[in-house]
Amino acid sequence: MAKRGVKLDYAYCLGKVIGAQGIADKELVDLSAKVAQVHQRLGEQRQAGDLGFMDLPDQPAQLLETILEEAARLSSIADDLVVLGIGGSALGATAVDMALKGALRYAQPAGPGGMRLFVADNSDPRFFGSLLDRVDLERTAFAVISKSGSTAETMSQFLVVKELLERRLGKEETLRRLVFITDPAKGNLRLIAKEEPVPILSVPPNVGGRYSVLSPVGLLPLACAGHDIQALLAGAGAMAEACASPELEKNPAYMLAALNYGFYQRGRNVLVMMPYATDLFGLAQWFAQLWAESLGKAQSLDGSTVNLGQTPVAAVGATDQHSQLQLYMEGPQDKLIMFLTLGNYGRDLSIPDLYPRIDALSYLGGRSLAELVQAEARATAAALASQGRPSYSLRLPAIGPEVLGEVIYLLELATVMTGGLLNINPLDQPGVELSKKLSYGLMGRKGFEAEAKQMRSLDAGDQYLI
């Protein structure tokens, strides 16, 4: 069995530790039976080819070769890679790049460590325009990532960039700076690539956007940025092995799902992911999409209206101890906290003892910042537990590609298991369609005249206060 580093500590979820708000032994037994049933269903779905994300740790060597070759080609002609993509086509690459290169990664010059990765996941012209102003177009490549090939934000950015590049560099040089990642058979990017020779990689059809970070969607940008994508996949593979058992007590993804589900049933409608590392904030944002789009559903699998879902919140420790913790400690008993802690920060700064006569400072002297932030993580979980407020911790030995692969796979499988426990479909997202269609109507897209009309009737009119 491959070596694994991530551990799940759930002591502060248990009734015997935190009292009546915690999960009792008997409940765990009941949850265990439910999990075993869903495990069987997931097995059938996997057999039917519906759970493509579970196969991503074991991708064909040939595909990885192709990804690495394309990354080498792009980095030979450009210093920066701009991803044009949104949602699941953006958040995974951001999460891993931010974790591995640091939240301040844009401040680093591009160099032997790989290309700088910019993820332009918004059609906001102020943001996108200033990004285009800052990069050197001659030394910038663009990865257009859209499974559907029709997402308005991504496709409009592509049109802007294509025209800009062509005007500046001509058609041939423009095409050299592009790569498409999309569905293997359909969509507008496929159509365009038939006419214009742009390299194109496929998103497996059975892998939805938010489960796609370990497919070319995440792997190509990450390889361009110089990250070890094989190590990322190896970590995911090790976690997949560790999550093979149908037994709750032997399967960390299932335990995570059971805890989230158990607490949701008890009215904990909010799940806060709070890594104690600024560089992991992108991971918390990636998880927010995974959890929200997968579990926020109107209908159960039997067709009845249920309107379920636990609201994910992305927080970061210790920063949000001084922003949100007051609410978590004393606000409604509707939250469950998932901490991510680090055994090793990869670097440390010792705190000098500059004022030995000031007690409120001298205790810090001789300690280190890693000791402080680790103590704060422990203290926050303990403080919450003392008020009967549950939390669990994913303990990461350090930040590295293997560990991130483990966490990604763990959370994806936990999400699908939670969907099974809730008896909803965690793989679709019907609720995002209406606003897309109404936007098409507003923007005058052919075929959406009815939506334009609907929009006029829905427009409530303006009621200004000032």
Positions marked catalytic: 293, 322, 436
Minimum CB distance to ligand F6P smaller for 119 or for 258: 119
Smallest gap from Cβ 37 to ligand F6P, in A, equals 28
Residue 425 near ligand F6P by CB under 6 A: no
In the range 183-222, which residues lie near ligand F6P by CB under 6 A?
Answer: 209-210
Nearer Cβ to ligand F6P (92/262): 92
3-state secondary structure the chain: CCCCCCEEECHHHEHHHHCCCCECHHHHHHHHHHHHHHHHHHHHHHHCCCCHHHHHHHCCHHHHHHHHHHHHHHHHHCCEEEEECCHHHCHHHHHHHHHHHCCCHHHCCCECCECEEEECCCCCHHHHHHHHHHCCHHHEEEEEECCCCCCHHHHHHHHHHHHHHHHHHCHHHHHHCEEEEECCCCCHHHHHHHHCCCCEEECCCCCCHHHCCCCHHHHHHHHHCCCCHHHHHHHHHHHHHHCCCCCHHHCHHHHHHHHHHHHHHCCCCEEEEEECCHHHHHHHHHHHHHHHHHHCEEECCCCCEEEECCEEEECCCCHHHHCCHHHHHHCCCCEEEEEEEECCCCCCCECCCCCCCCHHHHCCCCCEHHHHHHHHHHHHHHHHHHCCCCEEEEEECCCCHHHHHHHHHHHHHHHHHHHHHHCCCCCCCHHHHHHHHHHHHHHCCCCCHHHHHHHHHHCCCCCCCC
Among 14, 23, 86, 240, binds ligand F6P (CB under 6 A): 86
Cβ-based nearer residue to ligand F6P, 146 or 310:
146
Map the footprint of ligand F6P across residues 337-366, applying CB under 6 A: none
Shortest spacing between CB 291 and ligand F6P, in angstroms = 13
Question: At closest approach, how far in Å is the CB of 182 from ligand F6P?
Answer: 8
Spatial CB neighbours of 413, under 8 Å, sequence gap ≥ 6: 54, 239, 240, 243, 253, 254, 257
- Report how far residue 221's alpha carbon sits from residue 224's, in angstroms, rounded to the nearest whole number: 5
Residue 106: how many other CB atoms lie within 10 Å: 13
Shortest CB 183 distance to ligand F6P, Å: 8
- Which listed range, 14-22, 87-95, 106-114, 398-406, lies at the site for ligand F6P (CB under 6 A)? 87-95
Stretch in the footprint of ligand F6P (CB under 6 A) among 80-88, 163-171, 241-249, 313-321: 80-88
| Residue with Cβ nearer ligand F6P (80 or 293) | 293
- How many other CB atoms are there within 10 angstroms of residue 66's CB atom? 15
Shorter beta-carbon distance to ligand F6P: residue 210 or 335? 210
Q: Report the residue number whose CB is nearest to ligand F6P.
A: 209
Is the CB of 114 or the CB of 426 nearer to ligand F6P? 426
Q: Is 226 an interacting residue with respect to ligand F6P (CB under 6 A)?
A: no
Q: Please count the residues of this chain forming the interface with ligand F6P, following the rule CB under 6 A.
A: 14
CB of 159 to ligand F6P, least distance (A): 14
**Residue ranges in 430-449 that form contacts with ligand F6P under rule CB under 6 A:** 432
**Cβ closest to ligand F6P, residue 87 vs residue 114:** 87
Tell me the per-residue interface mask from 38 to 77 with ligand F6P, x by CB under 6 A, - otherwise.
----------------------------------------
CA distances to 235, 241, 320, 388, 417 from 277, in Å: 20, 27, 11, 25, 27
Give the pair of three-digit tokens for residue 242.
Answer: 């560790």
Residue (84 or 338) nearer to ligand F6P, CB = 84
Mark 136-175 with x for binding to ligand F6P (rule: CB under 6 A) and - for no binding: ----------xxx--x--x---------------------
**CB 283 to ligand F6P: min, Å:** 16
Question: Could you tell me the smallest distance in angstroms from the CB atom of residue 42 to ligand F6P?
Answer: 20
In the complex, the smallest distance separating the C-beta of residue 276 from ligand F6P, rounded to whole angstroms, is 28
Toward ligand F6P, which CB reaches closer, 97 or 293?
293
By CB under 6 A, name the one of 404, 413, 429, 441 that touches ligand F6P: 429
> Residue 88 interacts with ligand F6P (CB under 6 A)?
yes
Does 87 interact with ligand F6P (rule: CB under 6 A)? yes
Closest contact distance (angstroms) between CB of 208 and ligand F6P is 6
8 CB contacts (<8 Å, ≥6 apart)?
252, 255, 256, 392, 393, 394, 395
Looking only at residues 287 through 346 of this chain, which bind ligand F6P when binding is defined by CB under 6 A? 293
What does the binding site for ligand F6P look like in residue numbers (CB under 6 A)?
A: 86-89, 146-148, 151, 154, 209-210, 293, 429, 432
